[in-house]
Amino acid sequence: MFLWEQHCCLPLRHTARIAELARYPLGSYLSVNVGYSPQRKADSLALLHQFRAEAADDPRFRLVGTADRISDPDVLTLAFDLEDSAPLDGDLDNVELFYSLGVRSLAPTYNHANPAGCGCLDSEDTGLTGYGKDLVRKLNEVGMFADGSHCSRRTGLDLSTHTAVPMIYSHSNFAALWEHPRNITDDQARACAATGGVIGINGVGIFLGHNAPEDRAARVAAMADHIRYGVDLVGIDHIGIGSDYSFDGRQFNDEIRDTPEAFSEVYTKWGPLQWTPPEDLLGESDVPGLDTQLADRGFTPDERAALFGGNFARVATQVWRARRSSRKADGISPKWGTGG
């Protein structure tokens, strides 16, 4: 089954290796984070250059191109995302640069307020700023997903108001099933669906209510419950997968512990974060996989295909611009540009 993984994480450091992503089955589309609020442009560009160079030397990978060349059963299609607008360094023209390097998704804020808007952990929620609204217009113009994950509730709603193309929540679950500030409201979900967008359900324990190390099977079942809830709420066309699996789990848990200014008690009080690994999505492990869990909840093969990949692939054809950037990407060979 074609798997579109809208968000996963490698370590945000030079020791990261994209070969770890080979745990996903060939044929998958993978969006890998290359920066959030601590990173600036130079940091994210360094990661992009490293990951792209590794992909060029590994026949298992192909860098993302146009939306009509996503599903190839013989390779892993590799794209990138930004979880905050900080790596833009305040210059909206950098959206074009990051697109030319394979970034296809950007969230304006990560947990806390910045010049673009508010985050999901802010006590005061004033939504998108003027700069944030300009950012949405730029994302639309360039052809990059505007992503509401980690944004505040009003910022997410503002995204749906100001985008002219489908928006996404790359890795967000439903607050109606588990009340956590990182989870989205029904109103946010409906507003996203009204744009034609898709909500990617994640497999993070604290966002599912099952964060004990021994709760691995329960996390998969909870993902299926959130998918069932989302389909009942907004329809089969608007739900997908963004597991948020962290290949940098130990590093990230250390960062949560050491930077309380970025993460609140709602992240730390449950113990070290636990994730749903790639093997648990398609049943390649010793627990009932997500595909099996969805079949048990009555989803047909065609519906599961839409959830696992078809829905995000559809909105990509609506949002991404099928063109090659006119500017060179900091010395990267044109064959690794945006064209297929």
In the chain the domains, ranked by start, together with CATH numbers, are 4-328 (3.20.20.140)
- 336: pLDDT confidence band, cut at 50, 70 and 90? very low
Q: Average pLDDT of 231-236?
A: 98
The span from the CA of 248 to the CA of 306, in Å, is 29
Residue 205's Cβ-count burial label (10 Å; 0-12, 13-18, 19+) is buried
Lowest mean pLDDT among 3-12, 226-235, 257-266, 309-318: 257-266
pLDDT the model gives residue 218: 98
Q: Which two tokens stand for residue 55?
A: 């992909």
pLDDT (tens digit per residue) in 73-108: 999 999 999 999 999 999 999 999 999 999 999 999
pLDDT (tens digit per residue) in 241-288: 999 999 989 999 999 988 887 888 999 999 999 999 999 998 888 899
pLDDT the model gives residue 116: 98
3-state secondary structure the chain: CCCEEEEEECCCCCCCCHHHHHHCCCCCEEEEECCCCCCCHHHHHHHHHHHHHHHHCCCCEEECCCCCCCCCCCCEEEEEEECCCHHHCCCCCHHHHHHHCCEEEECCCECECECCECECCCCCCCCCCHHHHHHHHHHHHHCCEEECCCECHHHHHHHHHHCCCCCEECCCCECCCCCCCCCECHHHHHHHHHCCCEEEECCCHHHHCCCCHHHHHHHHHHHHHHHHHHHHHHCHHHEEECCCEECCHHHHHHHHHHCCCCCCHHHHCCCCCCCCCHHHCCCCCCCCCHHHHHHHCCCCHHHHHHHHHHHHHHHHHHHCCCCCCCCCCCCCCHHHCCCC
First to last CA, the chain: 22
* Residue-wise burial string across 39-69, b where 16 or more C-beta atoms lie within 10 A, e elsewhere: bebebbbbbbebbbebbeebeebbbbbbbee
The span from the CA of 323 to the CA of 168, in Å, is 22
pLDDT at 139 over 90: yes
The span from the CA of 163 to the CA of 138, in Å, is 10
pLDDT at 331 over 50: no
Average pLDDT taken over every residue of the chain? 92
pLDDT the model gives residue 333: 29
Q: Average pLDDT of 311-324?
A: 83
- 159: pLDDT confidence band, cut at 50, 70 and 90? very high
pLDDT the model gives residue 68: 66
Q: What single letter denotes the amino acid at residue 205?
A: G
Q: Does 69 or 157 have the greater pLDDT score?
A: 157
